[in-house]
Structure 1
Amino acid sequence: MFKNLVGKKNLSMDRLATLCLVDEVGSIGKAARGDANRQSQFSRQIAELESFLGIDLLDRSAKPYRITEKGAELARICRNYLSALDDFVGTCSGQPSKLIIGAGESLIHWLLIPAVLPVLKKAFPEARISFRNMRTEAAIESLQSGEIDIGFVRKDALTPVLSAAGKFVLDYRLYVPKKFRARLKSPVKFEEIAKLPLAVLEGRGQYRTTLENLAAEGGVELKFVTECSSSTQVALLVSRKECCAILPAYAESQFDRVGVQSYEVKGLRSLERTLCFAWNSKRAGVRPILAKAAKVCATA
């Protein structure tokens, strides 16, 4: 059994773990974190793996060296089984399992930490939970490569290798501090929103483009007074009563309900998204905790 693996020179778990690390961070230099000795060690370990396999795991024509397609494939395989083995050894020695959850920053701040984390910790009290800020596209890729365990992602972005639990509709509302004395009734029209000072996400993403297009259809132009790099920054401005904003409905928990009013907005259906907790079905075959934890998250 495993005659191609057992007792072979230049093949070891240390070398395979190094390959996984380099694949995850993107280069040997980043993996070594500026330590020249570790960089030399990592280069040697990957070269030894290449000698054993007879293939290139690094593209040395690139600067810095990048993992080849075969190298990335091997890293995915190794990450799955090394993670499962690490869990097993940790359980034997009384160490907790680790779960890495990927989601957008605002989702982590406003939903996962306050609502999902307590439920997850109750179900898995010994587990170490780690959150990583990433957009849906990056989370899907990281789920497939094994770099994260669970992703809170758009349901329409799932790939065949991923399974999912839960259905969370992400819709948007207008938040207006009372200091602006806006006399509004839901659903608010863009003609009315155009009279308010707004904070918005910078750039030309779908969120901002949709708002501008809907305003243009109503024959008005929105008054963006502040641009931010994240929804949490926008929410902070609203909570400080500096301006108004259109934000996900789950942001409401961040505001003083006496000082900030919330309204439905006419025509925002195009921004709605359905989110779910996703995991890699193949990885769950060797780490059953993944599917169990994702399903627990979906109950929050």
Structure 2
Amino acid sequence: MAHSPLHYERLRLRHLRLLQLIDEHGSLRSAAAELNLTQPAVSQMLKDLEFAMGVPLVERSVRGVVLTDTGLLALRRSRSGLATLDQLVRELDAGQTLSLRIGTNSALMYNIIPEALRRLNVGQSETRFQLKTGLVGDMVEALSEGNLDCYVGRLDWDQVPTRIARLLTYDPLLETDLILICPTGHPVARLDTPRARDLVGWPWAMPSRESNNRIVLESAMRSTGAPDLTAAVEVSADPNGLINLALALGMLTCVPRVALNEHANARDFKVLEVADLALPSIHIGFATTAELRQMPEVADLREAMLDAAKAWIAGSEG
């Protein structure tokens, strides 16, 4: 099937919404009802869309219709565009003020994010900023779906699905390490050279099981042959919350060093240097889609993040 420029020029917004409805309902009849069209009209829309793209987008069977692999790729691309259009409509309704939607990790809310926004003169500029924190997987998914304009935080490429990775661009910002801490009065803090087994049996304030930090910690513990740790409290995507809980409840916890460096109570904790436990570094970066990278406001934010990261690195080394 050859690509048809004529059909491409005739595409409308509802052609893209059709892919979304087919994926949700698996039925052209249901899609037609959602679009308030007849089924023959929707079938023709689908033909026009396939002619425009030059590839089959759906597979038909007695059970209904499903998107092909190419159809799923087209859906992912169109979903991002549709979400961007929806955001544009909301901004126009709100008075034509642009809002940048930034996904990030809570660990960066004490330093990198505020410094970058300060450099952009937030409050004086016409751009508004919407910040959302969460787990890495959720943030990356939201970025690929068009529900975020960029993501600032940890990104392990071997854990990013290929379908998402090929949509993204990435700039490294800084490198930090994952550290184990406990209140200075904790029994483990009194050990000169604690080992992995010394961490077992004590209550921990832990990230959720879906957190990359917890996955890395538990994997490292298993490699030493030590038993599983006891997660007395779990907190999702909030290193600062983990620090506060560990301090208040006398527990051990695991956080990125970038979260501890700026914490008001950092002097009340001891960083544990565990002889037989190797925790890998955490790479923090700026990710966006190829399309949004050229947007002036996103480009300005990217430069501000790079400058803020350089300032933080210089301050940490000093």
**For this structure pair, what is the TM-score category when the shorter chain's length is used for normalisation?**
0.5 to 0.7
Deviations 1:193-230 (A, max 9, x none): 347433334659632433423553xxx54652515253
Equivalent residue, structure 2, for 1:213 = 222
Corresponding residue of 2:177: 171
Deviation string 1:261-292 (CA, Å, 9 cap, x unpaired) is: 1314235543322121112224434x343333
Pick closer, same or farther for the CA change 1:273–1:225 going to 2, 3 Å.
closer
Q: CA deviation at 1:143?
A: 4.5
1:245 Cα deviation after fit = 1.5
Aligned ranges for residues 106-255 of structure 1 at < 5 Å? 107=105, 109-112=106-109, 115-117=112-114, 119-120=116-117, 123=120, 125-132=125-132, 135-136=135-136, 139-140=139-140, 143-144=143-144, 146-152=146-152, 153-154=154-155, 156-157=157-158, 159=165, 162-180=168-186, 182-184=188-190, 188-194=194-200, 196-201=202-207, 203=209, 206-213=215-222, 215-216=224-225, 221=227, 224=230, 226=232, 228=234, 230=236, 232=238, 234-252=242-260, 253=262
2-side partners of 1:68 and 1:155: how far apart?
28
CA deviation string 1:36-78 (max 9, x = no partner) = x999324749656314325775667699976543433334454
Distance across 2 between alignment mates of 1:77 and 1:223: 42
Letter in 1 for 2:171: A
Number of positions where the alignment pairs a residue of Structure 1 with one of Structure 2? 277
Q: Which residue of 2 aligns with 1:32?
A: none
For 1:96, the equivalent position in structure 2 comes to 97
Where does residue 71 of structure 2 map in the other structure? 71
Which secondary structure state, in structure 1, belongs to the residue aligned with residue 107 of structure 2? helix
1:72 partner letter? L
1:274 counterpart letter in structure 2: H
> Does 2:303 match 1:295?
yes
Q: Matches of 2:142 and 2:64 in 1, distance apart?
A: 21
> What's the secondary structure of 1:27's corresponding residue?
helix
Counterpart of 1:261 in structure 2 is 269
Distance 1:160 1:57, change over 3 A: closer
The percent identity for this pair of structures is 15
Instruction: Judge which range, 142-151 or 52-61, deviates more.
Output: 52-61
> What residue identity is the alignment partner of 2:17?
T
Pick from 36, 40, 44: which aligns with 2:33? 40
Structure 2 spans left out of the alignment, 5+ residues: 309-318
Q: Distance in 2 between matches of 1:63 and 1:243?
A: 54
TM-score, with normalisation over the residues of structure 2?
A: 0.63
Asked if the contact 2:169–2:290 (Cα under 8 Å) also holds between the matched residues in 1, the reply is: yes
Task: Give the counterpart letter for 2:281 in structure 1.
Answer: E
Residue by residue over 1:121-180, the C-alpha shift from the partner in whole angstroms, topping out at 9 and shown as x without a partner, is 762633343445555455555545545321234264584653322432231222222443
Where 2:7 maps in the other structure, the secondary structure is coil
Q: Does 1:4 align with 2:3?
A: no
CA contact (8 A) 1:197 1:244 kept: yes
1:194 and 1:117 mapped to 2: Cα distance? 37
Contact 2:168 2:289 in 1 (8 A): yes
Output the CA distance in 2 between the equivalents of 1:62 and 1:265: 62
Question: Which residue of structure 2 aligns with residue 18 of structure 1?
Answer: 17
- The answer to whether structure 1 residue 52 and structure 2 residue 48 are counterparts is yes
Q: 1:18 to 1:129 in 2, by over 3 A?
A: farther
RMSD: 4.7
TM-score, reference length from structure 1: 0.65
Determine the C-alpha separation between the residues in 2 that align with 1:62 and 1:120.
54
